[in-house]
Amino acid sequence: MVLINWVYFRGQWLKPFEKRLTTKDDFYVDQNTKVKVDMMRTTEFFDSYHDYVNHAVILQLPYKGSTSMMLVLPDEGMADVVESRIKDSVMKWQTALSQRRIDLSMPKFSISAEASLEDILKEMGITRAFENSADFSGISEEVKLVVSKVSHKAVLSVDENGTEAAAATTIEIMAMSSLEGLTETVKINRPFFVFIVELSTRSFIFMGRINNPTLS
């Protein structure tokens, strides 16, 4: 038996990027690797914040409705440092944002990732479901069941119109065995973090790290 948990999100930018401004540009995967990407461009007022303690620029792009995309661009060479501090910093960033006029360049991308969650769930204390003592009698009393595999896959696609994202978690069970007039330039041309935020509850629908926008 397979249990599937499915989440789907499709967001349209409140202010879409103009396709005619999208051009090829360099994205620096690391110090030795660069790739060509379709770089979108726009100049608008966005909520932003520069965290000099955690070495990152934070930018929030609104969708129509009550969701936004939060982009976190670490200073050069600081991506791993920022990642280690994200959990404690995200809420602070949300309250520190202020509106500035931003000349923004960011890549179009469509990526997917897949992961096994057995070890993560066990670290969270969910262990009995994987053991011989598992009790799934509410599902089947005739065949004794145990969770054999938990896998998660996420897909995120971003273009000039907005964002399309989907995620699914599958569980397999088997028989036991800034100021107006002042423009700040932000160019997302190195590894960055992305969050899709539901603003009314300040909850995160999706989150991830983009190391190479050309990988799908």
CA distance from start to end of the chain: 29
Q: Tell me whether residue 96 is in a domain.
A: yes
State how far the Cα of 44 lies from the Cα of 15, in Å rounded to an integer.
Answer: 8
The number of distinct structural domains making up the chain is: 1
State how far the Cα of 190 lies from the Cα of 192, in Å rounded to an integer.
Answer: 6
**CATH label of the domain that carries residue 10:** 2.30.39.10
Query: Contact, 67 vs 197, CB < 8 A?
Result: yes
Q: Tell me whether residue 103 is in a domain.
A: yes
Q: Tell me whether residue 129 is in a domain.
A: yes
Query: Contact, 73 vs 60, CB < 8 A?
Result: no
What pLDDT, on the 0 to 100 scale, is given for residue 157? 82
What pLDDT, on the 0 to 100 scale, is given for residue 72? 93
pLDDT in tens, the chain (216 residues): 677 777 777 888 988 899 999 999 999 998 889 999 999 999 999 999 999 988 899 999 999 888 899 999 998 878 887 888 887 788 888 889 999 999 999 998 877 777 788 888 888 898 888 888 888 888 888 888 888 888 887 777 888 888 776 667 676 766 665 444 578 899 999 999 998 888 888 788 888 888 988 876
Quote the domain boundaries for residue 83.
2-177+182-210
What pLDDT, on the 0 to 100 scale, is given for residue 1? 64
Q: Tell me whether residue 215 is in a domain.
A: no
Question: How many CB atoms are located within 10 Å of the residue 199 CB?
Answer: 14
- Contacts of residue 43, defined as CB under 8 A and 6 or more positions apart, other chains included, come to 101, 102, 103, 104, 183
Q: Tell me whether residue 12 is in a domain.
A: yes
Q: Tell me whether residue 216 is in a domain.
A: no
Greatest C-alpha distance within the chain? 72
77: left (phi over 0), alpha (psi -120 to 50) or beta: left
Q: Tell me whether residue 124 is in a domain.
A: yes
Q: Please state the pTM of the whole predicted model.
A: 0.76
State how far the Cα of 15 lies from the Cα of 98, in Å rounded to an integer.
Answer: 18
Q: Tell me whether residue 74 is in a domain.
A: yes
